[in-house]
Amino acid sequence: MTLLDPVPETARSVGGAYDDVAEDIELRTPSGSGSNRERGADRGRSTARGRRLPRHARRMQLLGAARDVFVAQGYHAAAMDDIAERAGVSKPVLYQHFPGKLELYLALLDQHTQELVGRVEEALASSHDNLRRIERSVGAYFDFVDDEGGAYLLVFESDLRSEPEVRRRVEQSLQACVDAITRTIAADTGVNEDEAELLSVGLCGLAEVGARWWLGSGGTVSKERAVELLVSLAWRGIAGSPRRSVPDSGFAR
């Protein structure tokens, strides 16, 4: 039950630093425990598994492996054995870097919520034109979702929302996006603070669900066109959508 691509690991796995150190690791055959253990003989050839890594490099590599496994299987279905195996290390190593499964997950979650919020804030800061800002913000959601690794699943579809710390982080990431939009976009609408915030929430919801749906719809619509359509909806509304000529009377108000 691998369920994962062979082992990307060549690509920048998580942070970008120290990543090149951990190439050419190799997964052992999953069932090869106890039967064909190499003893003495080709020990010292290091089986490509016993590569010693500096602490930080190992940590980064573990985070990458954990991301792959958590994304592919979800928190609960992912076993620490799977992550260790994916990383090409044994379980104790994992526990030398993270106190437990939850902490590992939280570290990962923090990474990716920050990435989303960062993208949105960047999009909002990239222009003074509000339509442009909307376009770029929705685009940020799409890019986030479309990013290699599928880490968006950790933020948008995390199981483990029963865990308060996870829930807090997920909700906080939405709230951060909402606040950013509220501050920069809705500042000049005539509604009060709470109501401007609600509009921003609507926008985030539109972007999030739209992006996820687009990703799962298998490329029948290009990303650019999808963003354009959603932005059109957000900007001009349904009433402003282009109507096809309706011969049989105005029924659409």
Partner DNA sequence: ATTGGACACCGATCTTTACCTCCACGAGGG
Partner DNA sequence: CCCTCGTGGAGGTAAAGATCGGTGTCCAAT
Whichever of 61 and 158 has its CB closer to a second copy, that residue is 158
Residue 40 interaction partner, one of DNA, a second copy, none, beta carbon < 5-8 Å per kind:
DNA
Residues 153-172 that bind a second copy (CB under 8 A): 157-162, 171
Is 49 a residue that touches DNA (CB under 7 A)? yes
The span of 95-103, 160-168, 226-234, 240-248 binding DNA (CB under 7 A) equals: 95-103
Residue carrying the six token digits 């106190």: 99
Examine residue 45 and tell whether it contacts a second copy (CB under 8 A): no
Residue 174 within binding range of a second copy, rule CB under 8 A: yes
Round to whole Å and give the CA distance between 214 and 143: 11
Residue whose C-alpha is closest to residue 96's, from 125, 129, 55, 157: 55
> Taking the complex as a whole, how short is the minimal distance between the CB of residue 134 and a second copy, in angstroms?
7
Applying CB under 8 A, which of residues 34, 92, 164, 216 lies at the interface with a second copy? 216
- Is residue 67 a contact residue for DNA (CB under 7 A)? no
- Short-list 176, 229, 167, CA closest to 204: 176
Q: Tokens 């710390």 — which residue?
A: 165
Give the Å distances, CA to CA, from 16 to 19, 25, 54, 64. 6, 17, 15, 11
Q: Which stretch binds a second copy (CB under 8 A): 32-40, 57-65, 73-81, 95-103?
A: 73-81
Output the smallest distance, CB 75 to a second copy, in A.
8
CA 190, CA 134: separation in Å to the nearest integer? 18
Identified binder of DNA from the candidate list 6, 11, 16, 34, rule CB under 7 A: 34
Minimal distance in Å, beta carbon 25 to a second copy? 25
Under the binding rule (CB under 7 A), the answer on residue 3 touching DNA is: no
CB of 128 to DNA, least distance (A): 48
Q: Which of 188, 191, 175, 199 is nearest to 129 (CA)?
A: 188
Contact in structure between 138 and 195 (CB atoms under 8 Å):
no
Residues 175-204 touching a second copy, rule: CB under 8 A, are 178, 185-186, 188-191, 194-195, 198-199, 201-204
Q: Which of 63-82 are b and which e, b meaning 16 or more Cβ less than 10 Å from the residue's Cβ?
A: bbbbbbbbbbbebeebebeb
Q: CA-to-CA distance for 115 and 87, rounded, in angstroms?
A: 23
Least separation, in Å, of the C-beta of 100 and DNA? 3
Distance between CA atoms of 126 and 116, rounded to whole angstroms? 15
List of residues contacting DNA (CB under 7 A): 33-34, 37, 40, 43-44, 46-47, 49-55, 58, 77-81, 88-93, 95-96, 100-102
